[in-house]
Each structure stands twice: as structure tokens, then as C-alpha cells.
Amino acid sequence: MIELENVAYGYDGGELLTDVSLSLSAGSFHFLTGPSGSGKTTLLKLCYGALVPTAGQLRIFGKDRQDMGRDDIAMARRRIGVVHQDCQFLDHLDVSDNIALPLMVSGRDLLAEDANLRELIGWVGLRERARALPPELSGGERQRAALARALIMSPEVVLADEPTGNVDWEMSQRLMRLLIELNRMGKTILIATHDLALIRAAKTHVQARVLRIAARRLQLAGADL
């Protein structure tokens, strides 16, 4: 689905990632860990085409990133659900409309998708908050709304950047259960997190590869994970 081969990426001349190789195959579950500023978010951005590698080869759904125009990237993002730590929303639209945003931009008939939308809102436990505006939501509600928005197009891949960063342990467990459930449905999942306890807890429920970024390189985490 998404393949990185000896990829490097740098900002302003300095290299942040070097010689990164990663293959996100269908139905796989990956954790990505590493200290703050190590390049987890950058690697996720590379995976959904927001950044272009400075070296190496990146293929998104079989297409070389170098050959993809802005419209190609837009089409690829309809197949990749992204959950950001800061959960960007359109504050003038309510939760339901924000979750339906990917349907709107892809020209899908909202009426035809209404049942799916309501089911998804219920699945992430936001039925009572569907008409609330994003600034009225708590941290956990925002994370769940972001997850629902990432899933509304039934993407093949879900990339989550610190999805439990702003929520308490109970909520992070609940979000993790949702992601594990998605993986059981066949979705490819990549979660960037520095929360090792969360990874350990999740690994008791799902077979996941844990990767660590250290010294600008991507490597398999140690046996403790």
C-alpha cells in the first residue's frame, strides 16, 4: 500500500530522516515510537504524501510520489484516513458535518451516506454531540471525532499521530480498542506515539510491529516492546 525505500527527508539542509525503509502492507498494524522531534510526524506526513522525500523512493498505492501531482495526492488521501494530534476541524461546521467533510469534498451524496455517517458517529460514541461545534468538545471527543472523520471514506490505511496525546488513560484505551477493531476489519494501521505503556497494552490484543526512530533511522524496537 505504502512503501518507503531508503527514503531521506530534511528541512533547511539538515537531514531529519535517513535511509528509511518501510512497507505498510494490507491489514498490517504498526506502532511508530521515538522521542519528541525524532521525525515521527514527518514520517507520517511522508506516508500520506504531504512531503516529498529528498532521497530514496516512496510509493503510495503503487505510484511514485515524485510523479504524483496535487490532484493525485488528493485522490490518495481519500484512501488514507489521517488522525492528527491537534485534530484540525472546521470550527464553523458541527461535529457531524466535520466528520462528513471527506464525503463533501469528494462529491459524494450526503443523503445516501447518512446512515453510514450516523452509524460511525454512534460507533465513536458521539451521537449526543453530533450537533456540537468543535470548540465545544473535550479532548477525547475531538480525538474520536477526528478518528470518525478519518474513517468515513472507509480508507484502506489509517495513519494516527499521537491519537491519545490529549486524553486520559481510559479514553486512550477506548481509542486504541477502536483502532484494533478497525485492524480486525482489514485496515492497515500506523500509529505514531511516544506512549510505551499504551503500546504494551495494545500488543496484548493485536499483533503489531513496533518501530522506533533513533538517530534519524528507523529500526525495530527492542524486545521490551
Partner 1 sequence: MSQAGAFLLGDAQADRVVPPTGMTARLTLFSAAVMGFVAVCALALALATGRLADRWDDEMARTATVRISAPEAQMAAQTAAALRVLETTAGVAQARALSDAEQAALLAPWFGPDLPVEQLPIPRLIEIVETGEGMDPEGLRLRLAAEVPGAVLDDHSRWRAPLVRAAERLRLLGWVVLLLIGTAMGAMITLAANASLAANAQVISVLRLVGAQDSFIAGAFVRRFTLRALAGAATGVALGCAAILFLPRAQAEGGFLTGLGFQGWHWLWPLVIPPLAAGVAYAATRAAAQRTLKDMT
Nearer to partner 1, 110 or 220 (CB): 110
| Shortest separation between residue 216's beta carbon and partner 1, angstroms | 22
Residues 124-143 contacting partner 1, CB under 8 A: none
Euclidean distance between CA atoms 204 and 210, whole angstroms: 13
Nearer to partner 1, 120 or 198 (CB): 120
Euclidean distance between CA atoms 206 and 187, whole angstroms: 13
Nearer to partner 1, 76 or 211 (CB): 76
Binding partner 1 (rule: CB under 8 A), the pick from 6, 66, 88, 138 is 88
12 binds partner 1 (CB under 8 A): no
Euclidean distance between CA atoms 150 and 102, whole angstroms: 8
Angle at 124 between CA 118 and CA 125, to 5 degrees: 85
Number of residues that bind partner 1 (CB under 8 A): 27
119 burial level (CB within 10 Å; 0-12, 13-18, 19+): exposed
Nearer to partner 1, 77 or 129 (CB): 77
111-114 long-range contacts, Cβ below 8 Å, gap at least 24?
113/152
111 binds partner 1 (CB under 8 A): no
39 CB-near residues (< 8 Å, 6+ apart): 9, 16, 17, 213, 216
Nearer to partner 1, 98 or 183 (CB): 98
| Shortest separation between residue 90's beta carbon and partner 1, angstroms | 6
Binding partner 1 (rule: CB under 8 A), the pick from 53, 56, 102, 140 is 102
Q: Which of 212, 220, 221 is nearest to 17 (CA)?
A: 212
Binding partner 1 (rule: CB under 8 A), the pick from 1, 22, 46, 82 is 82
Here's the x/- map for partner 1, 58-77, by CB under 8 A: it reads as: ------------xx--xxxx
Euclidean distance between CA atoms 43 and 114, whole angstroms: 34
Chain residues binding partner 1 by CB under 8 A are 50-51, 70-71, 74-78, 82, 84, 88-93, 97, 101-102, 104-107, 110, 149, 153
